Amino acid sequence: MVYIRQDKLPRLKEYKYSSVDRSLVSKYVLKPFYTNFVIHCFPRSMAPNLITLTGFSFVVANFLTMLWYTPTLDQDCPPWVYASWAIGLFLYQTFDAVDGTQARRTHQSGPLGELFDHGVDACNTTLEVLLFAAAMKFGQGWKTVLTLFASLLTFYVQTWDEYHTRTLTLGIISGPVEGILTLCIVYAITAEVGASFWSQSLLATLGVEKHGFIPDALYNLAWNEWYMVYGGIVLVFNTISSAMNVVAARHARGQRTRIALLGLAPFFTAWLLIPAYLALNLEILHAHLVPFAFYVGLINAYSVGQMITAHLTKSRFPYGNVLLLPLLFGVVDSLGPWLQQHVGLGWPSALGGGVYQVAFVFLCVGMAVGVYGSFVVDVITSICDYLDIWCLSIKHPYLETEQGQVEDKKGK
């Protein structure tokens, strides 16, 4: 399958990166740290995308330790495991931020870098949700599903915003900056106090006395539940802000705004099917949520990847997602027996339950890996061939001459 049409390739040369970062932490703390210290740790011969991929490897290592020590997301891990999660995530954030600086100082900036960066971030989002759920001891249940929904929506909306405004906008509080730092702090504290600490009442832990005007439900809210409340508030704020950015940008260009809002339909269509399938198959929810979450993450990564590709090639917004078809089949197949039991009218399930339903989930994971993998390989190959570059190494390194002019070994 061809993901970039030949007539769209020339638009890659019109690419210009545009971003706005309103984060005070980024401006006054992180960026000086990156530009004055971290960037000098990398040789100029190292490709920016290789830095991004190396940073992601730390998260993969964290995920593997999670699968070893707490595959059900509700077991205690040794303190060093949580500490390694904090270090690994901070290194990922650092490497992910420095790759842009490396691209500029080696004159390797281009559309492939943005595509590669977003693709890695999309995969990291799902892995970090599972790591956070393990640190909070959410287990395999609706709390983990809700956390996954919020994180994927944040990333999807941010990419949707960039497609329409043509600018990557990070607010005063954003996932790539404050969100990741918050997780690093949470993991570090967990290494000290243990994962069970987050299941305690926040107010009681802080020494707040139980007064009559404080509802029991509020007083008994655990730390991990307060975090979900905080995340929900930030999610609503960022979603509304992105929608306002998109409406304003399209209005300024004299374009219709309602059509842009339809771009949210693929995400919410998926999230009508996801909880429906889990509600109809509680065995998957409570015993096999990790592989199912991985499948859901790849659905989102594929949608986001299509959006970024359309943004780089100035193509039409991608509404379709073939990875939703197995999920739709799963919902329809499981709905029949439920209707037979509760309504009296329905149809028999082709999959049945038990091991066949589990096998279906892993089949969905395999299909998602294949489809998303083919998308990544095809898009990267198409861009590299057209721009005459390599993905993980510098094909035409630039050299500074004595006169300060920039030359490259290819003679351009």
CB environment 73-89: b (16+ within 10 A), e (fewer): bbeebeeebbebbbbbb
Rounded to 10 deg, the angle between the 111-136 and 142-165 helix axes is 160
Compute the distance between CA of residue 351 and CA of residue 280 in angstroms, rounded to an integer.
Answer: 13
Count of beta carbons in the 10 Å neighbourhood of residue 245: 18
- Calculate helix-pair angle for 324-342, 265-280, nearest 10 degrees: 40
Active site residue 118: yes
Residue 209, amino acid: E
Closest CA to 169 of 93, 89, 117, 241: 241
Distance from the first to the final alpha carbon of the chain = 33
Burial class of residue 398 (count of CB atoms within 10 Å of its CB; 0-12, 13-18, 19+):
middle
Distance CA 102, CA 93 (A): 15
User: What is the SS3 assignment for 196?
Assistant: helix
Contact 133, 143 (CB under 8 A): yes
Torsion of CA 372, 377, 379, 382, to 10 degrees: -160
Q: What is the DSSP string of 277-334?
A: HHHH-HHHHHHSHHHHHHHHHHHHHHHHHHHHHHHHHT-PPP---TTHHHHHHHHHHH
- Set 107, 118, 286, 396: catalytic member: 118
The set of catalytic residues is 118
